[in-house]
Structure 1
């Protein structure tokens, strides 16, 4: 697994620009749609289906990531990039024409099917055209796109829905995607494994069934009910077992055996699973703290989260230089320590804490996540040879997405369990304190009791995030103490 020679490509900066445009297109989709959803619901109705607009996108995106990664190795990066980006742009155009929430959810599913390839394929393309010593610095440029999208997305979404039709939030991606495809058509030479291969259709179907059942159970647990969630988990378990048995005996496994035999590849996937879980402890529940416990505004909550998005790309950029001077392991360990420090600081928050404390803590956490995630990615790409680099990169992205879903479900369960213990008589206490009208109607003593209970419950969520961060430190020790070469 030492074949790491980049393709001899001239004018690589155009390929980098094309990849950054594609990454920006996928990154801004997450933030720009969330900002516009109140306006969309006001026009289309269907508030009860609100969660599915986001869940279906995440579901189809996550399920398709490893399949695209394998197809990129078998059929070529360029072909799969064009297919997936075409699906994404087609879904984007159709979303703008949706006449009701049902159609919007269907078209979001199509968008997600296309988005599943954009992140892993752009990272793989960059790994193909830049040698190992340069990859860390170049991949950090891709990471910086997320920081820009976190700031530009909400502002652009708010401006568009205020001055134009909400459909434009989906259509702004079309020219970006077309420019990206044109640049890759002109400057990226196609290359793929010349050996004859076939896609493992049975393994792909079993993987889709396993992940779909598990994600639906996790993402829609509250609306589905305990019995249906249990049935979905059982389906996921049976399909997962069948997938493992099939992969062991398949001539063309979906996940090549080299992935499971390499300590570095295993560590990279385990590390990103943990990063995804820890990230949701911040993204999903820090705004709840700011708006519910602190009584802050949505703008303050969004600003605090933006600090995490700013810290991530800054740390990713620093990691490239640090890896060259030290090693993969040192950089990953340092990132894990920053992640531990940030989640520990969250436990010091109290009702009188200024909001900027939460923002600073989120920034520290973002630096830890950025440093560890880029180190795991570069270590994996520099370990994997060309023939499996696509699926190895995709598996990293897949692990992070799966970790996000697992983290959301786990920490949501921790929060709900603690609230049930401390406020057994209250109906949705978090919603009551976050709504200004409902909060004003609560008498002072009851409000103080409710805030105390929510504060303690959220501290347990942050404690779980800290535990996940500590686990990432242990995984970081599995990364080799080598420099990129």
Structure 2
């Protein structure tokens, strides 16, 4: 490197970028009633969320691989630039259809924010420092969950709903400037082999899958020709994608990432734990309002303990990981999530408000103890030239867990709730909680199959990069246990 990277300033820029990406998912929900009154298109409102999810999921692994091929700095800047551009376009939308298309552009940019941000953090901070800083970054989502409704409510009530999008411009500019000025990386310029065929087949297959999950049971019946056709397209193109990835020189999603338990188990945990997060976010609020009879404000307050417990546990996990072991923390977190899910599954209409609060604290603590060590292990167990795609794969698994869980929970809930009576609502939500508990049991069993903490740390030490910004152009490294 010709210049030294200022880690503190880069970290501030990354935090700013990650925060606006995390904030976006909460402030839009708060502003949706005002958006409907301004633009109309009530029947299309769900698509401003669905299209964002769809394009983000598709773009995430593509940006992850591009970050390994062309450097983190340029790909981060492109992704953040697309996100800010999409935000500005959303702010100027004159119809719901326009807003949906602009949200699609915004979602493409968001596909780079999380994975490339966490990858740069993984590059800059080695060993114990990485664990502590990743704990801080993991807490950004919880902080955004706390402040999102407040920020969105303020803009909607006192300025305009359009400013929930415009606010991303100044913050995005600050983030890009900090990265360009203070982040310096060297990159070996050589001919790159881009996996176009893999990107195309993945995009088609994932689009079909997500469209089926996002529209099934609502716009189309699960047994309709449309949904069945989408699932058939998914199977065909994902099969082609896997065949292409086996032969590609630089596969978009290296299948070797799933050959080692060091990586495959954290990926599966990332998928399964998101079921609890989505179940809590959607159905606990519904239970508090429709079963307990409390206000929407009370429902929001009940969710706050999880948003506080999560970053607390993430920070502690980053500090304790190298003392007590990554596996112990992940298993402990899985046990806490199981305990919180069991508490919810045993809840009934006469239970107290405190039961939900207590269960959410347990789940929040558990998620913090799972997420941070898992991310540190994933980034540490691969070489520099695979760190970006390994991180983006984790983000993709999280997104798939959220999307698929919402579809499954919705099927269970709608199969029971047919008339909307209080007793049916309670029964439908109760069965969702039982399913959450079943997934949490499976989650704990999976966590127990992690390699020992010593094996995890050996893999991290084997691939540990020099302090600061590591040199680019290293040969691609495979997961440690795969070779051993």
Q: TM-score, normalised by structure 1?
A: 0.90
Match of 2:426 among 433, 440, 455: 455
Match of residue 470 from structure 1 = 441
Match of 1:150 among 139, 145, 149: 145
Q: Distance in 2 between matches of 1:48 and 1:388?
A: 42
Contact 2:303 / 2:357 at 8 angstroms: preserved in 1? yes
Match of residue 479 from structure 2 = none
Change (3 A) 1:346 1:47: same
Cα deviation for residue 280 of structure 1 reads: 1.3
Q: How does 1:15-414 map to 2 (within 5 A)?
A: 15-192=10-187, 196-221=191-216, 222-225=218-221, 226-414=224-412
User: Structure 1, unaligned stretches of length 5 or more?
Assistant: 1-5, 421-425, 430-449
Cα deviation for residue 7 of structure 1 reads: 12
Cα deviation for residue 418 of structure 1 reads: 2.6
Cα deviation for residue 355 of structure 1 reads: 2.6
Contact 2:65 / 2:388 at 8 angstroms: preserved in 1? yes
Q: Distance in 1 between matches of 2:215 and 2:366?
A: 30
Match of residue 470 from structure 2 = none
Cα deviation for residue 158 of structure 1 reads: 0.8
Contact 1:311 / 1:367 at 8 angstroms: preserved in 2? yes
The size of the alignment, in residue pairs, is 453
Change (3 A) 1:41 1:395: same
Deviates more, 1:338-347 or 1:253-262: 253-262
Contact 2:343 / 2:355 at 8 angstroms: preserved in 1? no
Cα deviation for residue 58 of structure 1 reads: 0.6
Contact 1:7 / 1:128 at 8 angstroms: preserved in 2? no
3-state SS of 2:149 partner: helix
Cα deviation for residue 195 of structure 1 reads: 5.2
Cα deviation for residue 257 of structure 1 reads: 3.9
Change (3 A) 1:354 1:261: same
Cα deviation for residue 144 of structure 1 reads: 2.0
Contact 2:6 / 2:183 at 8 angstroms: preserved in 1? no
Cα deviation for residue 256 of structure 1 reads: 2.1
Q: TM-score, normalised by structure 2?
A: 0.90
Q: Distance in 1 between matches of 2:445 and 2:66?
A: 32
3-state SS of 1:189 partner: coil
Match of residue 447 from structure 1 = none
Match of residue 11 from structure 1 = 6
Deviates more, 1:218-227 or 1:167-176: 218-227
Deviates more, 1:291-300 or 1:18-27: 291-300
Q: Distance in 2 between matches of 1:291 and 1:330?
A: 37
* RMSD, aligned CA: 1.7
Match of residue 439 from structure 1 = none
Contact 1:95 / 1:107 at 8 angstroms: preserved in 2? yes
Q: Distance in 2 between matches of 1:71 and 1:459?
A: 44
3-state SS of 1:99 partner: coil
Q: Distance in 1 between matches of 2:13 and 2:192?
A: 28
Q: Distance in 1 between matches of 2:320 and 2:2?
A: 25
Change (3 A) 1:241 1:274: same
Deviates more, 1:42-51 or 1:245-254: 245-254
Match of residue 471 from structure 2 = none
Contact 1:340 / 1:470 at 8 angstroms: preserved in 2? yes
Cα deviation for residue 349 of structure 1 reads: 2.0
